[in-house]
Structure formats: structure tokens, C-alpha cells
């Protein structure tokens, strides 16, 4: 019971910081959840949790959705998340964990170095960003950061940015959830956590919205990325010495 209490508190923290940073909570939630569960379970729990999380954001940040971006980024993201999710059914868990930690370290370091740079506003970048973010989400559980820096190039208002990202992510998470649940990535013993995850998704998104009114996104982005690098390096080290 204590294990689940700590896990749920960390899930709430991830949801708040993910909302404020614009990266989405999965980039922090995935490495933290992997401390408590095996990696396939992490993928299943993350996908189910983020279905509720994205619905909460769509409701709370309801100032509009950029349909053009949602379609051009969302369709390839959904196609590639299915490919990534299906690949996980063929890979050993240990290799998946190592791949996740490596991918998170590389992505985080890249984002820290290039945090002030933006992509060009092109259809190619939308499609490429959707494809890469979808593939990463399916393979290692998180693609929100890639999607975030792609959408950021279009200088959308905060509410529109978050709502547009959330509608894309909802399609991604529903798609991969089907694959994960069909392959028993979400154990029946964890069904009891669903009401708590729903509550956390609503509370965390709301608190993130409140914090966004009074603080800088940039500060939170640095904090999130540093935490991810440290967490991933520690887990990779444990894996190597394991």
C-alpha cells in the first residue's frame, strides 16, 4: 500500500510539472514509474493514465484547438505509435528499459542545449515531429517532448498549445492502450488504481494551469530535464551493474 501511495504522489507531481513545462507528464512519469513496475507495466499504466490526463487538459484548456496542426501532426503520430507499440511485443523487457533510459538521456540533453531554438513552421516538420513522437511513445512510453517542440514553432497561445497537444496525445494514447491492454501490459491487479489516476489527472492539470499564470515555463523545463537526465543515468547504471 505504501508503494502505491508514493507512486500516486509522484504521478501527481509528474502531471503538474508536465502541464507547466509543456512537455507532457509522460517524460517524467515514465522513468519514475519504472522504479515501481516492470517496463511493460509502465507502458500500460502510462498509456491508460494519459488518456484521462489528456481529456482533463482538453476540458480545462478549452480556448480552442488548432485543427490544421492537430491533423498534420496527429495522424502520423497515431500511425507510428501503433508501430512502436507492436515492436515492444517482440523485444525483451531488459532491452526496452535500456532503450528507454538511453532515449530519455539523449532527448533531455538535446532539449537542454537547444531549449531556446525553434523548428521552422513547415508541414514537413509537423509530419516528421508527429512520426518521431508517435514512435517514441509506442516504444519507450513518451513522445510529448518531441511533439511539444514541434508545436512550439507555431507560437500558439498557451491554452491553444496545451489543448492541441492534448487532443493529439489522446489519439496516440488510446491507440497504444489498445495494443498494450491486449498484450497484458496493464495487469488486472492495477485496475484499482484507475479512480485515483483519474482524480490525479484532473487535480494535476488544474494545479498546472494555476501555476502557469504565475511562473515561467522555461524554469520548469530546465528542472524537468535535469531530473530526467539524473533519473535515467542512475537507472542505466543500475542496469549495467545489475
Q: Domain residues for 187?
A: 2-241
* Of 153, 130, 142, residue with least CA distance to 39: 142
Element (H, E) at 107: helix 93-113
Question: Residues with Cβ < 8 Å from 100, sequence gap 6 or more?
Answer: 30, 31, 34, 39, 139, 140, 141, 232
* Of 6, 5, 13, 7, residue with least CA distance to 211: 13
Per-residue pLDDT of the chain (242 residues; tens, 9 = 90+): 678 899 999 999 889 888 877 667 777 788 888 888 888 899 999 999 999 988 988 888 877 889 999 999 999 999 999 999 999 888 776 677 677 677 777 777 776 777 666 678 889 989 998 998 899 889 888 787 788 778 877 878 877 888 898 899 999 999 999 999 999 999 988 999 999 999 999 999 899 888 877 776 666 667 666 766 776 676 667 666 65
**Confidence (pLDDT) at 175:** 94
Chain Cα centroid distance, residue 40: 15
Number of domains present in the structure of the chain: 1
Phi-psi region of 204 (alpha: psi -120 to 50; beta: other; left: phi over 0): alpha
Q: How many residues are recorded in the chain?
A: 242
| pTM reported for the whole predicted model | 0.80
Residue holding cell 515514465? 30
Specify whether the CB–CB gap between 52 and 90 falls below 8 A: no
The angle subtended at Cα 13 by Cα 148 and Cα 201, nearest 5°, is: 75
Cα–Cα dist 170/53, whole Å: 9
Please give the DSSP secondary-structure letter assigned to residue 35: T
Residue holding cell 509522484? 10
Burial of 220 (0-12, 13-18, 19+ CB in 10 A): buried
Q: Which cell is 140 given? A: 519507450
Cα–Cα dist 1/198, whole Å: 18
Distance separating the N- and C-terminal Cα atoms of the chain: 26
Amino acid at each position: 500500500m505504501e508503494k502505491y501511495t508514493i507512486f500516486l504522489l509522484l504521478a501527481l507531481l509528474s502531471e503538474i510539472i508536465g502541464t507547466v513545462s509543456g512537455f507532457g507528464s509522460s517524460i517524467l512519469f515514465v522513468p519514475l514509474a519504472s522504479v515501481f513496475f516492470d517496463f511493460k507495466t509502465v507502458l500500460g499504466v502510462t498509456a491508460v493514465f494519459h488518456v484521462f490526463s489528456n481529456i482533463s487538459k482538453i476540458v480545462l484548456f478549452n480556448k480552442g484547438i488548432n485543427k490544421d496542426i492537430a491533423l498534420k501532426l496527429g495522424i502520423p503520430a497515431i500511425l507510428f505509435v501503433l508501430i512502436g507499440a507492436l515492436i515492444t511485443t517482440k523485444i525483451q523487457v531488459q532491452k526496452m528499459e535500456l532503450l528507454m533510459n538511453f532515449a530519455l538521456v539523449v532527448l533531455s540533453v538535446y532539449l537542454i542545449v537547444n531549449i531556446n531554438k525553434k523548428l521552422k513552421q513547415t508541414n514537413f516538420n509537423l509530419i516528421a515531429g508527429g512520426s518521431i513522437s508517435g514512435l517514441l511513445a509506442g516504444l519507450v512510453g513518451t513522445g510529448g517532448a518531441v511533439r511539444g517542440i514541434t508545436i512550439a514553432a507555431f507560437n500558439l497561445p498557451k491554452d491553444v498549445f496545451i489543448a492541441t497537444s492534448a487532443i493529439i496525445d489522446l489519439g496516440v494514447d488510446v491507440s497504444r492502450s489498445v495494443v498494450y491492454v491486449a498484450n497484458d501490459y496493464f495487469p488486472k491487479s492495477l485496475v484499482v488504481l484507475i479512480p485515483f489516476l483519474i482524480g490525479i489527472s484532473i487535480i494535476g492539470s488544474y494545479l498546472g494551469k494555476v501555476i502557469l499564470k504565475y511562473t515561467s515555463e522555461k524554469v520548469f523545463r530546465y528542472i524537468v530535464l535535469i531530473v530526467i537526465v539524473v533519473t535515467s543515468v542512475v537507472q542505466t547504471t543500475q542496469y549495467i551493474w545489475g
